[in-house]
Chains A and B, each alone.
Chain A
Amino acid sequence: MDYADFVAQGRPAWDRMEALADQAGRDLTRLGADELEALVTAHRIVVSDFAWARTRFPDAATTQHLRTLAFRGHQLLAPPEPPALERAWTFLAHGYPRVFQATLPATVGATALFLGATLLGVVVGGVNLDVARMFIPEESLTGLREGRIWTDTIGDSQDATSLSTMIFTNNIRVALAAWAGGSIAGLGSAGALLFNGLMFGCMLTVTWHHGLLDRLHAWVAAHGPLELFLICCAGGAGFTLARGLVDDRGRSLSRTFAEAGRTSVKLALGTVPWFVLCGIVEGTLSPQMDVATALKQVVGIALLGTFLVYTLVPRPMETHA
């Protein structure tokens, strides 16, 4: 076939496909059944003609045009995905707990690192209080020396709504940093866990030294257990991401890292609703210093327990259609 015949014979189908693609935009439901069938047929002709033209006339403008049309059809006729709400529900009900269980060693490792750093902070503070004080802002230290703890005044300056919002957005940022740090071979995640653990340990020692540990305990008892564990979960998600860089199983880096990315982002995203819950508790119940610490402890343990039951109870195996 010569070039003139090729263009003359193919052009009606190419024009038809372009017109139908324009009509559909990015939404195939704008096309009727007949039009959809015509689009699929025209796209197959375009792809076939593109393959021929690319071999015989790679530099022709018609070939470039066919490439554009073939790619457009490729994107438009992609296999459909389930509706977003259905996917979100399936993920929260089954997907997240399943991923959490599959990657439990990473979360356990992250938690161990955080607790180890906390213990180190306590020891460092015990040996040299001045080093521990470096992790606490000067303004807060001044208050501690005067017998006041910063947590007493957090609720005074803002109402519960704005406080909760700021707290959970900030906590989500911290968790995202702990997760994203996994992409630099896990160093960022490990750094975030070490720093936060060390800071927490130093804070415990310094407040104990000033006789205000019970006040700090009264502040963190309700939201602290779950919130700190969620940060460890985000760190574990970071380690899962980092694993994609080193555990190849004989496949290419891009493939293992992409798989690890998908798994780890599920881990990180699954913590978001729980961070919001923690923020609400931290903005409302935690600042109430007239509420008994024992009651706050019960709330804190109940929150952590609920999360652990939700994530660790075995789920049915994933089925593929």
Chain B
Amino acid sequence: MAVRDTDPVDSAAFLGAMDVGIDLQLATPASRSLAYFIDQLVIWLIGAVLLAVAVLAGLNLVDAGLEPGPLIAVLVVGWFSFEGLWFTGWELLGGGQTPGKRAVGLRVVRTDGYAVGPGGALIRNLLRPLELGSGGTIAMLAASLTARHQRLGDLAGGTLVVHDRPAHAPRGTPTRWPDGVDDADVGLLESWFDRAPALATAARAALAERLLTHVEARYPGFVEAPRTADAAQTLEQAFAVGGPDRGTGTARG
């Protein structure tokens, strides 16, 4: 019997350039189900519209004396292809993302992290009807029991589904930092400068005051300028923040 990949992990690491591992969070069965539901909804909507248009056009052509046989053939092949190729087509042309996966922030990739190819996309989607035919039981069981939340189609196709919601560069960029600043404070302050412009004035002022007090206590002497009434502005000056919303700051440290 094969060695089972049963120890669950929450991220997949791909070996990138210079053998550096690029780790991404794996999609959970719940997020995958949500993405599938969105796709199915879109398929039903588009399918209903296409069917109505095809039937109306077909009736007109039959009225004009055309034989219905070829029209039925086109309809059968058209629907077979549309339904069957929706996921494969999107995953190939959309960089591993169907509209549902894009909405939820998921992406199908090969197990080595490269973009999914025709073979992988085809295999995982050919197995989809079987796995979902039982109300999704087989797919949910497989995704829950395998370490990397792979359904059978993923295992056979050599693919994974990962969370890939692109992180943008922080909008407000501090260009001056205290010596020995730790990771938690970097994360906290970058997040603050990124989001502060979008906060309500009162909330922004209150949070800025607390953050400024924290910085002064943790890194004595870093905030050189005298405190002003606007704590947010004092923080921006202390960290020499620059960015699209603020203009370019000047490093002072």
Answer whether A and B are interacting partners. yes
CB <8 Å contact, B77 and A169: yes
CB <8 Å contact, B113 and A261: no
Does A198 make an interface contact (CB < 8 A)?
no
Cα separation A176 to B127 with both chains bound (whole Å) = 9
Q: Which of B114, B190, B194 has the largest count of A CB atoms less than 10 A from its CB?
A: B190
Interface residues of A in 155-189 (CB under 8 A from B): 158-166, 169, 176-177, 179-181, 183-184, 188
Stretch binding the partner chain, chosen from B36-44, B154-162, B224-232? B154-162
**Which residue of B is nearest A81, CB measured?**
B117
CB <8 Å contact, A252 and B186: no
Cα separation A15 to B77 with both chains bound (whole Å) = 47
Does A204 make an interface contact (CB < 8 A)?
no
Does B20 make an interface contact (CB < 8 A)?
yes
Does B24 make an interface contact (CB < 8 A)?
yes
CB <8 Å contact, A44 and B18: yes
**Which residue of A is nearest B162, CB measured?**
A71
Interface residues of B in 178-195 (CB under 8 A from A): 179-181, 183-184, 186-187, 190-191, 194
Q: Which one, A3, A48, A70, A258, contacts B186 given CB within 8 A?
A: A3
Give the number of A-B contacts (CB < 8 Å): 207
Does B58 make an interface contact (CB < 8 A)?
no
Residues of A within 8 A of B253 (CB): 4
CB <8 Å contact, A60 and B186: yes
CB <8 Å contact, A75 and B114: yes
CB <8 Å contact, A248 and B3: yes
CB <8 Å contact, B177 and A262: no
Residues of B within 8 A of A81 (CB): 117
CB <8 Å contact, B22 and A183: no
CB <8 Å contact, B158 and A261: yes
Does A26 make an interface contact (CB < 8 A)?
yes
Q: Which one, B1, B16, B114, contacts A70 given CB within 8 A?
A: B16
CB <8 Å contact, A159 and B69: yes
Give 1 or 0 for each of A3-46: 1 = CB within 8 Å of chain B CB: 11001100100110010000000100000000000000001100
Interface residues of A in 68-94 (CB under 8 A from B): 68, 70-75, 77-79, 81, 84
**Which residue of B is nearest A70, CB measured?**
B22
Cα separation A260 to B253 with both chains bound (whole Å) = 59
Does A254 make an interface contact (CB < 8 A)?
yes
CB <8 Å contact, A169 and B80: yes
Cα separation A241 to B152 with both chains bound (whole Å) = 11
Q: Beyond A2-B179, A261-B155, is A61–B190 a contact (Cβ under 8 Å)? A: yes
Q: Which one, A8, A51, A241, A246, contacts B175 given CB within 8 A?
A: A8
CB <8 Å contact, B130 and A61: no
Q: Beyond A75-B115, A81-B117, A262-B123, is A252–B76 a contact (Cβ under 8 Å)? A: no
CB <8 Å contact, A258 and B156: yes
Q: Which one, A14, A47, A78, A165, contacts B73 given CB within 8 A?
A: A165
**Which residue of A is nearest B115, CB measured?**
A75
Residues of B within 8 A of A256 (CB): 2
How far, in Å, is B79 (CB) from chain A's closest CB? 9
CB <8 Å contact, B20 and A50: yes
Does B90 make an interface contact (CB < 8 A)?
no
Does B102 make an interface contact (CB < 8 A)?
no
**Which residue of B is nearest A256, CB measured?**
B2
CB <8 Å contact, A169 and B126: no
Does A65 make an interface contact (CB < 8 A)?
yes
Q: Which one, A57, A65, A84, A257, contacts B167 given CB within 8 A?
A: A65
Does A318 make an interface contact (CB < 8 A)?
no
CB <8 Å contact, A60 and B126: no
Residues of A within 8 A of B234 (CB): none
Residues of B within 8 A of A79 (CB): 114
Cα separation A51 to B120 with both chains bound (whole Å) = 29
How far, in Å, is B123 (CB) from chain A's closest CB? 5
Cα separation A172 to B16 with both chains bound (whole Å) = 40
How far, in Å, is A99 (CB) from chain B's closest CB? 13
Does B148 make an interface contact (CB < 8 A)?
yes
Q: Beyond A44-B17, A71-B24, is A251–B3 a contact (Cβ under 8 Å)? A: yes
Cα separation A77 to B114 with both chains bound (whole Å) = 9
CB <8 Å contact, A65 and B156: no
Give 1 or 0 for each of B1-36: 1 = CB within 8 Å of chain A CB: 111110000000010111010111000000000000
Residues of B within 8 A of A106 (CB): none
Interface residues of B in 111-170 (CB under 8 A from A): 111, 113-115, 117-119, 122-123, 126-127, 129-131, 138, 146, 148, 150, 152-153, 155-158, 164, 166-170
Does A284 make an interface contact (CB < 8 A)?
no
Does B67 make an interface contact (CB < 8 A)?
yes
Q: Which one, A3, A65, A241, A265, contacts B181 given CB within 8 A?
A: A3
Of the A-B pairs whose beta carbons lie under 8 Å apart in the complex, a sample of 6, sorted by A's number, is A4-B176, A44-B18, A48-B20, A74-B16, A165-B77, A264-B156
A4-B251, A257-B2 provided; 11 other pairs, C-beta below 8 A?
A47-B18, A61-B170, A67-B24, A68-B164, A71-B22, A74-B22, A164-B73, A180-B126, A184-B152, A258-B157, A262-B158
